[in-house]
Structure 1
Amino acid sequence: MSLFSANVHGKIVAGELNLGSLQSYIANLSQIQPGIVTFITDAFGTVIAHPDQIVVEQQTNLGHLAPISQGIEEHAGFIGIHRVQGAWYLFNAAKVPSSAWVIFSSSAAGRQLVPLGVALGIFMFLLLFLLIAAVWLLNRKLGQDVSRPLESFIQAVNHLEKGTLVQVDSGTGRTFVELGVLRQRFTEMAEAIVRREQSLRESEEKFRRLIENLGKEYFFYQRDVDEVFIYLSPSIEAMLGYAPRELLGRHNFGGIITPGLISERARESSMRTLEGQESQAHEIEVRHKDGSIKLLEIVEVPVRDFQGSIIGLDGIARDITEQKKANEERLGMERQLLHSQKLESLGVLAGGIAHDFNNLLAAILGNLELALHRSEPNSPLHARILQAFKAGQRAAELTRQMLAYSGKGQFLVQEIDLSDLVRENIAMLQAVMAKTVTLNLQLAPDLPFIMADAGQIQQVTLNLITNASEAMGEHPGTMTLVTGVIDCNAQDLVLSRTQDKPRPGRYVFLEVRDSGCGMDEQTSQRLFDPFFSTKFTGRGLGMAAVLGIVQSHRGAIFVESEPGKGSMFRVLFPAVDGITASGAPHGVLNNEPDPSGAVGAVQPPPGSGLILVVDDEPMVRELCVEVLRFLGYQTLQAVNGEQAVQLFCEHAHEVRGVILDLTMPKMNGVVALQEMRKIRPDVHVVLCSGYNEQESIRRYLAEATTSFLKKPFSLKQLQAELEKMLA
């Protein structure tokens, strides 16, 4: 028996419970519900009622079991599945109101879960069916709205790689709106790519046509960072003879670039470009496949990747061989022109100085010659005057060479046999040669005539021989003089050292060869410059005079020389067509001051008649007057052409002859001569000048009443001209 009490609505209710009846009730429950064990414990886990009577009688305490202790503490609800005595059980607990008892129920988990497993299996089957159906529906939906558009995207990308554009299927567009947006954006992008690639292909095609049709003056190339060729345009074959495949893979024009400073600079320029520095055009020399040398102008720019790193070089090469050659020829012509202008200016200057100096020398030498004639031959004064006279003649020789260089030194042009002229002056020529030099003459007979001033041709020969003799010095050697005739074309004459190249035709030549020291190129280029000399005692006018004389005779001069191998000079003079010199007269040097013949040689016979002296230089005019008076003539003086014509008009029937200077102010000598001939055609005139006025007075010199006297002239020469004129 068990007593209990409870507070019900504020009232204490007490009762008595028959535990035996409770025990029977619990045992009956186990029979009604097989597999379910129901038992009651107190708050300490001691069994109060249990289907097994023994457990109750022994007052077994189950509080140490986890589900029991959990049920006592929580008092209600499903406690969970617990393992008891090796088996799994489901436990539930509920607290008996108004008491400390707890009712527990437990059942074997396997027995209870079988229906649940069956239900769960059915559920899983249904769930799997629904899942399969959902997957099928989803797959169908995705196939329509995702897979098909994606396949269309893939096809579009594949076509886009080939450069064609196709439309993208976006599906139904009702579920995945984003695919429609993606389709639109992809289509826009694809159209832009196609347009860009089309433009790129067109640009590449234009570039390809440009590169492949650069012509033989250009070729394009690409090199990597190791300077190895990775592309060469086909035009390189036309320029250098190599097919592109022959040079691909080569390093920096390897095998065809010529070594030297130019190539080293090109290498440095390429390295600077690869380092990202500013590129500049540079030149390289390469060898053509046929062995010739080509000069290329190279322009290179760096090639960069998307990150900005330099990955190679693009370059273009231009053949500038001919351009360089043309530039060098142009510069050479410009230098030659400047040199010619300089020489021309020097010639004008030298001619002007020589002309003025000749007027002074005419007065100096004339007065000295008069003083010699009026002094005692054995007196010390006579010897001093003679020395001064000889010095004046040397000065006259110097001015003669200056006039020869300026081209104004011709005075007596006549038909000359060049071989006879050389032969007749051989003694004088040998006098200027060193004793150790052997002279070898090879003079051609029956040469055509040349029209020349014999004195100047003699000076050319003398200067050339002097130059050759000095080149051999005191060493034994051979000098060869050759004359002959040669036909020259324009190509032959272009090498002439004269400023104006003569016309093609037949020429008579004089050639002087020596076995001396020879000349280098620099000396040869300056050989004919006035006042240039390699000799300590030289004045530098000898070869300049040769050039001037040859130019004034419309000839040519050629020079061949090499250090240590001697020199060869060949001068050419135009031949007179159809005339040979066999048995013909020839010219020799005359009309030159001769101190041996001038001093003491003049025995003036008593002259008679009136001589008109016309000269703007007072000293020259007064000297002529004094000389004429010394020779016994009467004189009239005029300072210019106008005064001379006036005096001649007044004394036309009295004047026996006229000494007329050609260069004067107001009216020059030629005009004055013409006016005098109008008044009296038979008047005898001696024309005087320090210049070459040959062209302007040629027709007058053909007349018997006209002669020419070059300043400075000697007393003997003046006397001879007067006697010839008045005979």
Structure 2
Amino acid sequence: MLAANLMTGRPRTSTPLPYRVTIIAIVLCGVLAAVLLYREARHSEQLHAESEFVRRASLRHALTSEVLSRYTESLFGVSSIFALDTTLTRAEFARATQRLQARLTGSLAFEWVPLVTDENRATLETAMRQVYPRRGFEFMDFDANGLAHRAPPRPFYYPIVFVEPMHGNELALGYDLTNAPSGPYLQRARELHRLVVTHQFRLVQERGNELGVVMVIPVFRPGGPAPTEPAEETFTGFVQCVFHVRELLETASASDPDAAFDMLFVDASAVAPAPRIMYYRPALDATARDQAPSEAEFRRDAAFTRAFPLHIGEREWHVIYRPRPEWLATQHTSTPLARVGSVLALAALLGGLVNVLGRRAQTITREVNERTAELADSRRQFANLVHALPGMAYRATYDGDFQLTFASEGALALTGCTPEQLVSGAVRVRELIHPDDVARVRDETRAALQAHRDVEVEYRTRLRDGTVKWVLSRGRGVYDDAGRLVVVEGIVIDVTDTKRAEESRLAIERKLLETQKLESLGLLAGGIAHDFNNLLSAILGNASLARMTLPAGNPIDPQLRAIETASLRAAELCRQMLAYAGKGRFIIERVDLSALVEDMLPLLRVSVVRSAQLHLELTTPVPGVRADATQLRQIVMNLVLNAVDALAGRSGDVTIRTGYRTIDKAEFATSVTGQNLPGGDYVVLEVQDTGCGMSREVLGKIFDPFFTTKFAGRGLGLAAVQGIVRSHNGALQVESEVDKGTLFRLFLPAIAGEAVQIEAAKPAPRTRWQHTGHVLVIDDEESVRHVIAELLKTFGFSTQIEGNGPAGIEAFRADPDRWTLVVIDLLMPGMDGEQTLKAIRAIRKDIRVLLVSGYAEGGILERVRGPGRVGFLAKPFEPDAFEDKLRELFV
């Protein structure tokens, strides 16, 4: 009616104010009187119930204390026997404790624990083995896993030598209690000369979850006429009784059970991690200890509680009593209800209460719905963020190994396992880590979490299909107020592509460094070769000139020819150095590799020591290869000499094979050089020995310049082989095993057609070519230009020599038409040969020019091509080669 009036705007009607006030006053007074009377009656009943509860609890506590005292008195009786006679036998000990076992319900074992010094250990163990011949006897310790092992040497021991009953307690026999959980209590009992009771712990002979306590009494034997004086007593050991906590306290509290209250036994002296709760006994029936409530729960659920102490063996136990709700209900009567003033007032009160509660419930429901919607929105946002993250987000507990409690959907792509498999434990995180990385991941994770640092570790994972991935795990520990780790939260992402890119970058860097090293060594080798070639030009030229000026049959002719031969061999060494540097210029022709090896056979047999056997396994015919025959001979010779050195003077075999194969591109992946060659037809050369072989470390260095395992070696042979193979666009592979031998395998691209037989060049008689004219010789090396000038004179030329480019240009400019030929050294200080040639051509375009150099031709003729004839001759050169080049220029 009131609401309707407010909505329609009509004035509201009301009863007279006194009437309404009277009704309200009557209702309020009635309710107030009913409440006061009800509370007063209930309070009286409560006081009466508490008084009755305290009386019953005190009586029960006195009975419990009396039962426990009987246990300690019985144990004192056993200890007095050992105080009088420490030589009791096992049988006497068994008879002394047999009756006590029946009387003391809950006792698990009686034990005699003597004090044994390290000097007496062996004697006692021997004596006890005679007492226990079938099972043996020795002092033992137990590790954290409950496994027994022989006790290490100690200054003294507390071994269990007698235990009754034996059945079920065999594991305790020989147990050295100095290192046991009860060890500190034994020492305390010895110091105090009194009974000591241990805290609860798991017994070594217990295979279940039952805990036990031990009552320990020290035994002192009187040492003189006044045994009552402690100073005269001699400590001999301990008598102890082992109890199951539940059975002990069940016996102590079971007599005359009272249904009015529940009992909770608490070890008030316990220090963490020892448990405080000892035994829980409801009023109506016994309950397993693992169902016992905590002390706080026990007190929280009770209307009131009372705690009584039990002092036993230097330990304080508390027995907490709480009334049963059923018993409290029996203490209430119907008197308070009779004092309720008015049913109507009570109904009005209840109606108002329901109205208030209903409004409150609506408010709570609305607030819960709002909070639920906010939580759902928060979860949706979290799910979207996790979905957008790369890899797998996780939350896990950690105790040396991760146990996931949450894993995002990215787990499937990262690990091949669903989040459910990871969270349920069907697949353990440790199983996914590569075995070689498990220890490192564990150590780095533990160190970071202990230091309260973020965890960041890279490792490999191995999926079930064998795929190996690199992942990066980043996480952070969540700790409680005490600093203990609660959970670890983080993300794991796949970094396999990044790792591969990094490896590719490192490979490119290594290749670049190798290339730079080869370029540097190439410059060094080229410079050395150039200087040697200049020296050899002078040596070879002067020897040839001397031999040509002497009459035939002169006694020194053999010596001069030896000088020429040595010079030519030295020139071969220079070409080998240029080949290593990749700057050599080869005379490319069609070569039959089998014929080439056969042609070298006499030289190879001389190179092989007598203890070695040289074997040829040549395939004929084989397709030809386009190569420089001299360089291929150098490869064969270097590899054979290397094989002979590997035999180290011992008997063995050196085998040379040739063949023809169709090679797949993948076979070149393990090559030392030529890894990127295409597949196709290749001619194969193999040199194998049965020598000492090479380790993996040596194998990785054999192609480094100047690396050698021989005392007198130069370390250039295999490096030169690699350079020659690279210049011929070939591939080289090496296989070696220590004490078994080494195999070098060379691949050269085959060409179609019949192989060409390589035959030794036969010198033919030749007539000395003659010509006339004036020749200008420009070379910075005095000895070289002198040799060239003298050789030119043997052909009929007149010569003029100059030591550098500018001087040569001035001499040519003085009379350009006078000169028939200009000989120019390409490499001179200041103005080089190419610049000098350009300046001379600017004066006279058609002049013939012969370029000489200690380097290979290297395309110089293409660069200086012009109207006049130009030739090139590499130093050092023989007179015949010089003559041939002159013939070409003047034909």
Shorter-chain TM-score above 0.5: yes
Q: Hey, what does 2:744 align to over in structure 1?
A: 569
Alpha-carbon distance in structure 2 between the residues aligned to 1:307 and 1:155: 40
Q: Hey, what does 2:837 align to over in structure 1?
A: 672
Alpha-carbon distance in structure 2 between the residues aligned to 1:663 and 1:366: 19
Alpha-carbon distance in structure 2 between the residues aligned to 1:631 and 1:709: 17
Shift of residue 622, structure 1, vs aligned partner: 2.2
Q: Hey, what does 1:282 align to over in structure 2?
A: 457
Residues 130-529 of structure 1 mapped to structure 2, 5 A cutoff: 132-133=341-342, 136-137=344-345, 140=348, 143-144=351-352, 146-158=353-365, 160=367, 163-165=368-370, 194=371, 198-211=373-386, 217-218=391-392, 220-225=394-399, 227=401, 228-247=403-422, 248-249=424-425, 253-260=429-436, 262-275=437-450, 277-305=452-480, 309-367=484-542, 370=545, 395-435=570-610, 436-445=612-621, 447-450=623-626, 452-473=627-648, 474-484=650-660, 486=662, 489=665, 496-498=671-673, 501=676, 507-529=682-704
* Cα distance per residue 1:58-80 (max 9 Å; x no partner): xxxxxxxxxxxxxxxxxxxxxxx
Alpha-carbon distance in structure 2 between the residues aligned to 1:655 and 1:411: 33
Change (3 A) 1:387 1:545: same
* Cα distance per residue 1:322-381 (max 9 Å; x no partner): 543442343233212212211121112221232133223323444455567779999999
Q: Hey, what does 1:710 align to over in structure 2?
A: 874
Which amino acid is 2:357 matched to?
A: L
Change (3 A) 1:544 1:588: farther
Alpha-carbon contact 1:272-1:279 (below 8 Å) kept: no
Q: 1:692 aligns with which of 852, 856, 870?
A: 856
Which amino acid is 1:668 matched to?
A: G
Shift of residue 139, structure 1, vs aligned partner: 5.7
Unaligned runs of 5+ in 1: 1-127, 166-193, 591-596
Change (3 A) 1:519 1:647: same
Alpha-carbon distance in structure 2 between the residues aligned to 1:553 and 1:140: 114
SS at match of 2:708: coil
* Count of aligned pairs: 549
Change (3 A) 1:378 1:198: farther
Q: Hey, what does 1:175 align to over in structure 2?
A: none
Give the share of equivalent positions with the same residue, in percent. Answer: 33
Query: More deviation in 273-282 or 453-462?
Result: 273-282
Residues 544-693 of structure 1 mapped to structure 2, 5 A cutoff: 544-575=719-750, 580-582=753-755, 609-629=773-793, 633-639=797-803, 655=819, 657-664=821-828, 666=831, 668-669=833-834, 672=837, 686-693=850-857
Query: More deviation in 238-247 or 249-258?
Result: 249-258
Alpha-carbon distance in structure 2 between the residues aligned to 1:275 and 1:477: 63
Residues 5-154 of structure 1 mapped to structure 2, 5 A cutoff: 132-133=341-342, 136-137=344-345, 140=348, 143-144=351-352, 146-154=353-361
Alpha-carbon contact 1:359-1:690 (below 8 Å) kept: yes
Alpha-carbon contact 2:668-2:675 (below 8 Å) kept: no
Alpha-carbon distance in structure 2 between the residues aligned to 1:642 and 1:321: 64
Alpha-carbon distance in structure 1 between the residues aligned to 2:841 and 2:760: 32
* Cα distance per residue 1:431-457 (max 9 Å; x no partner): 32344133223234252441x333222
Shift of residue 257, structure 1, vs aligned partner: 3.9
Alpha-carbon distance in structure 2 between the residues aligned to 1:677 and 1:466: 53
Alpha-carbon distance in structure 1 between the residues aligned to 2:518 and 2:418: 52
Alpha-carbon distance in structure 2 between the residues aligned to 1:498 and 1:703: 42
* Cα distance per residue 1:173-218 (max 9 Å; x no partner): xxxxxxxxxxxxxxxxxxxxx2xx5444333223334445656x43
Shift of residue 623, structure 1, vs aligned partner: 2.6
Unaligned runs of 5+ in 2: 1-336
* Cα distance per residue 1:553-579 (max 9 Å; x no partner): 333333344444543333344555x6x
Alpha-carbon distance in structure 1 between the residues aligned to 2:827 and 2:680: 35
Change (3 A) 1:330 1:724: closer
Query: More deviation in 244-253 or 479-488?
Result: 244-253
Which amino acid is 1:406 matched to?
A: A
Alpha-carbon contact 1:225-1:274 (below 8 Å) kept: no
Alpha-carbon distance in structure 1 between the residues aligned to 2:417 and 2:355: 56
SS at match of 2:491: strand
Q: Hey, what does 1:103 align to over in structure 2?
A: none
Change (3 A) 1:568 1:226: closer
Which amino acid is 1:442 matched to?
A: L
Q: Hey, what does 2:715 align to over in structure 1?
A: 540
Change (3 A) 1:238 1:680: closer
Which amino acid is 1:447 matched to?
A: P
Alpha-carbon contact 1:223-1:231 (below 8 Å) kept: no
TM-score in terms of structure 2 length: 0.53
SS at match of 1:164: helix
Which amino acid is 2:348 matched to?
A: R
Which amino acid is 1:624 matched to?
A: I
Alpha-carbon distance in structure 2 between the residues aligned to 1:697 and 1:508: 33
Alpha-carbon distance in structure 2 between the residues aligned to 1:148 and 1:603: 140
Alpha-carbon distance in structure 2 between the residues aligned to 1:270 and 1:699: 66
Tell which structure's C-alpha radius of gyration is larger.
1
Alpha-carbon distance in structure 2 between the residues aligned to 1:701 and 1:712: 24
Alpha-carbon distance in structure 2 between the residues aligned to 1:477 and 1:339: 34
SS at match of 1:691: coil
RMSD of aligned Cα (Å)? 4.6
Q: Hey, what does 1:99 align to over in structure 2?
A: none
Alpha-carbon distance in structure 2 between the residues aligned to 1:323 and 1:701: 52
Shift of residue 581, structure 1, vs aligned partner: 4.3
Change (3 A) 1:290 1:488: closer
SS at match of 1:410: coil
Shift of residue 691, structure 1, vs aligned partner: 1.0
TM-score in terms of structure 1 length: 0.63
SS at match of 2:489: strand
* Cα distance per residue 1:102-155 (max 9 Å; x no partner): xxxxxxxxxxxxxxxxxxxxxxxxxx999735x7447636744x5422332234
